Structure 1
Amino acid sequence: MTIADLHSTDESTNADGGVHPLGNLTAAEYETIRSIVSASDEFAETVRFAYVGLDEPHKREVLAWQAGDAPLPDRRARVLLLDMATGRSTDNIVSLTAGTFETRQILDGSRGQLPILDAEFEEIWSIVADDPRWVDALATRGLTVDQVMCVPLSAGSYDFPEEKGLRILRVLAFRQDYPEDHPWAHPVDGLSAYVDAANRRITRLIDDRVMPIPSTSGNFDDPALQGAPLETLKPIVITQPEGASFDVDGDMVTWANWRFQVGFDVREGLVLRQLSFDDHGETRPVIYRASIDEMLVPYGDPSPVRFWQNYFDTGEYLFGRYTNSLELGCDCVGEIRYFDVTVADELGAPRTISNGICMHEEDFGTLWKHSDLFTGSNEVRRSRRLVISFFTTVGNYDYGFYWYLYLDGTIECEAKLTGVLFTSSFAGDAEDGTAYPFASEVAPGLGAPYHQHLFSARLDMMVDGVANAVDEVDAVRLPVSETNPHGNAFTKRVTRIRGEAESGRTADASVARSWFVSSTEKTNAMGRPTGYVLYPQDAPTLMADSSSSIARRAEFATKHLFVTKYDPAERYAAGDFVHQNPGGDGLSRFIADDAPVDGEDIVVWHTFGPTHFPRPEDWPVMPVDYAKFTLKPYGFFDRNPALNVPAPVVAHCSMSPGAGVHGEHAGHGHAGAHDHAHIDHGGHDHAGHDGTAH
């Protein structure tokens, strides 16, 4: 069963059994959409479905329906269609309620193209292989077309006149020595083809220079390269003898005091909706909708065949469609609850990714502790978190996105980056001995260009209601004065963000900068606004020059924070149509009217992610790197909300021969052959496919 097929309660359906207005599209609904589209007079055999997703109702319609003040909103889908033969692109809204097209817009490509299709990628090899210029360029390097793998990549926007109005892909080549050989180890550098996908031709061939093809091995899965196994690691057993602490009913999840809806979109991947916290019987909303709406990977090598390498993995590639099935591997451990996800393939048919989303609990050390000097009180509580995650593989990189919910009301989002570096032929040191300044040498003769990974988190905030505001909070040093005679004082500066135009802000660790999202209608016991603080992980924003094409196309990445007034049409930080977009869309356009954001229904857009100077240790497969941000309650509660967490049971703490129970190191007991224990013997998967681990 899929997430969307699991609606079974009043929370997921209306009284008549209709699907929750925010419920994912079901397999049956995808079939209905396909039937409606294929029955259109304009449909042709060469038309492909570039995107199919839920057209979410306006927030006020959903909230009014939930309050019993309005009927169930109509069910709609957004459908992007591409005719592979002509390049004709349309943006359509299909009503599932009425069974008809509601709107249809023809796109001229001037403000960007539809996402790139897998079908277009599959055609690239034959297109370039039929061009004598490509064949000759390979021959100059001692290669034939059969010896190379072609990697088609998004084109960016560079005002090349021959590309106007066309769907362009740029192609790099990698030599593959045998079927099991990982070609990333052997870049054929100095050569690139620009391809008109619809007309099946190379519009421009860049043959800059012949460079040595690295001979190093990239076969990380070869035991000969791995070396002798590390035999000293003992199994770790994670077990919950009484089962998991969460309840799942359809796509609705309740865990501890948290309640939320698990969603999925083929563009954004995992989506969390309507996160709320039960505060002594009162359901208090925190976030209406949370997702990673864009992911930019800009490269810093200005060489003639690489200057255009800037990938929007969400908007250009729809990274949700590459979601991993987590049936194999130890992506999750413990008492696991998997969710299948259903998307539409490029023919419009439903395609199910089994175990696409994983949910489980993790022990997280000490929650709170104190040994009191005066009373003798000695109390400790264990922390745990609920983990909701998915992994997607986009070409060479693998990305995991993990949302963590904690017992004390904290929310975190963490990106995990692994996979294989995108490689180049290392140019070598200059005559004066200086190293090539735009890439690292990660293996002999093998380069890895400097690059960034910049994620945009779209946080549709709803802290105690829809009337919210954002303050920027900085730590402030104070000079010696009459009021600070010893110079020890410091305070904070609080700056209210009043309008969209002034909302572009950057993080600053030197002043512990954070952003306080508060209710303008609700107060706590101290009479102050209830709120949540966004703590960024301080890192550079987009490194490209402000006049560059990529800076125009990704203005969201030039700041760590933007705040906009809620508009259901404003879904993506880089705009709706990112592929070959010249810039000026997305947040650039959203903030142009400078709408007020003080006491309004607001969306917070947060950019985060690492700047990567690759290491030799990142080759041939990269150990996980991490990037995250945190949302912590600040005055949202009147006291520590985790006071009622029970004390740990001593029998569940880890006991080894001759050792006692030790606070921070106390863990779960060794349960032996428990049915739902997950035993990790060095990478073998023992997770069952029915949602529990064996």
Structure 2
Amino acid sequence: AGTITKTDPGYIAALARRGITDLSIVRHLPLSAGVFGYEEEVGRRMIRVLSFLASENTHSMFAHPIDGIVAHVDLTSKRVIRLVDTGYNHVPMESGDYLDPELSGPMRTDMKPLRITQPEGASFTVKNHVLNWQNWQVRIGFNGREGLTLHDISFSERPILHRAAISEMVVPYGEPQPTNEWQNYFDAGEYQFGRLANCLVLGCDCLGKIQYLDATVADDFGEPVLLPNAICIHEEDFGTLWKHTDVFTTKGTVRRQRRLVISFFVTVGNYDYGFYWYFYLDGKIELECKATGIVFSSGRPEGEYDFATEMAPRLGAPCHQHLFSARLDVAIDGNKCHVDELEVRRLPISPENPVGNAFKRVATRLQRESDAQREADNKLGRAWLIASSEKVNRLGRPTGYVLYPEGAPLLLAADDSSINKRAQYATKHLWVTQYARDEMWAAGYTPNQHPGHAGLPAYAKANRSVDGEDIVVWHTFGLTHFPRVEDWPIMPVDYAGFSFRPDGFFDRNPTLDVPEDPNGKEFSENCECVCP
């Protein structure tokens, strides 16, 4: 697409009007086109191309957007079929090289080495991609679209999840200029997470006693490509697991928390994403997504402007979202499960609540797929209990896990917008569907140039029962990003994710057998202390 663009006479003329005649210093960024009602694009393989100036030895062309020009490229006929030129002709020229000593200043000299050591080795084992650690067992997979996939997740041989992975991620931009209004990218379905995975480096990406796993994906021609060190596995200390000091004896007891980390990192154009699955001693599971890299840039009008933050003089970073869909094929003590929506309720003063202090949690069963399209509500503490329909604990309650959402904003594009139709999954925090083998993709199997309503809205249209069935839970979470100047020229990590915690799955605290931390032996005989 870049080659097609730079040989187009109209494009060359548009650059010349901006004083750019040397095409060797122009970099072309081909991007997925979306669907915006252009009749000439129907049935064609389309790409839209933006341009950046690379006139310095820099790690970031994004400091120099050639804004106001976008080429609509037909890959089938190999030509530019439409050229948008708004006439905007300012190219920001301040350096965005984040490795330039002139930009960074002298390196800090007061950071002492921080070493993570495990003299007796790690507590986990991996054999044939099956991992065992502290009652957990997980089978680790990888494919070119989703990247890391986790299978047959169990605790003490009790099933919890058949499969867990990121099904989709969409990045819709909120700048309404003609050269930016079409920007929305399905990073899994269009760009293929797994094929873009980084090869991780000890001491940089992962610390401690590390085990790496390679991955193999297919290239554009179906040939295998080996990705060395694509998956990182390690364990971390995570502070206090539990602690109590007896107020009468002043004798205290404490245990340390640990978590197992299974992670991978991808680079999708300007952004880098890390996906970190955490498994804890107490049965909790978390997914944390880390967003870093370089914010997308555009030229910015002078004066007040609502849709892009000024990062450097006349250089804008448009507001945007990162909206992930986690597909959780649940199996809480077996295949038959149900979902209860949990909310906290304030209670009015009444004969049963005479001083008005009472509140309670209310559970509402989600019975069919049409019922199970829900939004988080942090004011109500809304969460979702996924429970077994076959097993109970010693107190007679169904064994279960609760999905706790962060409750961040959902898709903000207008209801009748193109991206709203194409990313319908991102209009709800929770979807529950009855399991079907071919229902894997939150935005559909082929989101590229798809007009919309594929994936979850199509799956849920059948309105099947999700009460006491083999079900799949889909959770939308993410970031709504109004870039800060501190995000330039490279962005510190921002975080999004969710927690999946046992609730009635165990009969009591499952970590009573965790021993005193050996690390404490060098300071005291054990982890019991007496306060003066």
Q: 1:13 maps to what in 2?
A: none
Structure 2 counterpart of 1:542, from 411, 422, 425: 411
Q: Contact 2:53/2:64 (CA < 8 Å) preserved in 1?
A: yes
Instruction: Give 3-state SS (helix, strand or coil) of 1:447's partner.
Output: strand
- Opposite residue 609 of structure 1, the aligned amino acid is G
Structure 1 counterpart of 2:110, from 214, 224, 232: 232
| TM-score relative to the length of structure 2 | 0.97
Alpha-carbon distance in structure 1 between the residues aligned to 2:521 and 2:166: 37
Structure 1 counterpart of 2:440, from 564, 568, 571: 571
1:327 offset after TM fit, Å? Answer: 2.9
Which shows bigger deviation, 196-205 or 613-622? Answer: 196-205
Show CA shifts across 1:284-305 (max 9, x none). Answer: 0000000001010000001111
Q: Contact 2:262/2:278 (CA < 8 Å) preserved in 1?
A: yes
Alpha-carbon distance in structure 1 between the residues aligned to 2:56 and 2:407: 43
How many equivalent pairs are there? 528
1:178 offset after TM fit, Å? Answer: 3.0
Q: Contact 2:517/2:527 (CA < 8 Å) preserved in 1?
A: no
Structure 2 counterpart of 1:149, from 24, 27, 37: 27
Aligned in 2, Cα 1:556/1:661: closer, same or farther, shift over 3 Å?
same
Structure 2 matches for 1:587-602, cutoff 5 A?
Answer: 587-602=456-471
Structure 2 matches for 1:181-200, cutoff 5 A?
Answer: 182-200=60-78
Alpha-carbon distance in structure 2 between the residues aligned to 1:296 and 1:662: 47
Structure 2 counterpart of 1:265, from 131, 137, 143: 143
Q: 1:636 maps to what in 2?
A: 505
Percent of pairs with identical residues? 54
Alpha-carbon distance in structure 1 between the residues aligned to 2:419 and 2:195: 24
Aligned in 2, Cα 1:653/1:398: closer, same or farther, shift over 3 Å?
farther
Show CA shifts across 1:601-658 (max 9, x none). Answer: 0000000001000000000000000001000000000000011000123555689xxx
- Opposite residue 200 of structure 1, the aligned amino acid is K
1:663 offset after TM fit, Å? Answer: 9.8
1:376 offset after TM fit, Å? Answer: 5.1
Aligned in 2, Cα 1:342/1:181: closer, same or farther, shift over 3 Å?
closer
Residue 385 of structure 2 corresponds to residue 511 of structure 1: no
Alpha-carbon distance in structure 1 between the residues aligned to 2:278 and 2:518: 24
Q: Contact 1:650/1:661 (CA < 8 Å) preserved in 2?
A: no
Structure 2 matches for 1:165-314, cutoff 5 A?
Answer: 165-180=43-58, 182-278=60-156, 283-314=157-188
Aligned in 2, Cα 1:519/1:662: closer, same or farther, shift over 3 Å?
closer
Show CA shifts across 1:63-108 (max 9, x none). Answer: xxxxxxxxxxxxxxxxxxxxxxxxxxxxxxxxxxxxxxxxxxxxxx
Aligned in 2, Cα 1:595/1:384: closer, same or farther, shift over 3 Å?
same
Residue 358 of structure 2 corresponds to residue 489 of structure 1: yes
Structure 1 counterpart of 2:279, from 383, 405, 409: 405
Structure 2 matches for 1:93-492, cutoff 5 A?
Answer: 124-144=1-21, 145-180=23-58, 182-278=60-156, 283-327=157-201, 330-374=204-248, 377-429=251-303, 435-492=304-361
Instruction: Give 3-state SS (helix, strand or coil) of 2:69's partner.
Output: strand
Show CA shifts across 1:322-374 (max 9, x none). Answer: 10001366110000000000111122221101000000000000000111124
Which shows bigger deviation, 519-528 or 217-226? Answer: 217-226
Q: Contact 2:255/2:527 (CA < 8 Å) preserved in 1?
A: no
Higher strand share: 2
Q: What is the root-mean-square deviation of aligned Cα atoms in Å?
A: 1.6
1:224 offset after TM fit, Å? Answer: 2.1
Structure 2 residues without counterparts, runs of 5 or longer:
none
Q: Contact 1:416/1:624 (CA < 8 Å) preserved in 2?
A: yes
Aligned in 2, Cα 1:297/1:484: closer, same or farther, shift over 3 Å?
same
Q: Contact 1:188/1:211 (CA < 8 Å) preserved in 2?
A: yes
Alpha-carbon distance in structure 2 between the residues aligned to 1:374 and 1:640: 24
Alpha-carbon distance in structure 2 between the residues aligned to 1:406 and 1:182: 38
Q: 1:50 maps to what in 2?
A: none
1:198 offset after TM fit, Å? Answer: 1.9
Q: Contact 2:172/2:322 (CA < 8 Å) preserved in 1?
A: yes
- Opposite residue 254 of structure 2, the aligned amino acid is V
Aligned in 2, Cα 1:439/1:481: closer, same or farther, shift over 3 Å?
same
- Opposite residue 103 of structure 2, the aligned amino acid is L
- Opposite residue 38 of structure 2, the aligned amino acid is F
Structure 1 counterpart of 2:428, from 550, 559, 568: 559
Structure 1 residues without counterparts, runs of 5 or longer:
1-123, 430-434, 665-694
- Opposite residue 296 of structure 2, the aligned amino acid is F
1:560 offset after TM fit, Å? Answer: 0.4
Instruction: Give 3-state SS (helix, strand or coil) of 1:287's partner.
Output: strand
Alpha-carbon distance in structure 1 between the residues aligned to 2:59 and 2:275: 29
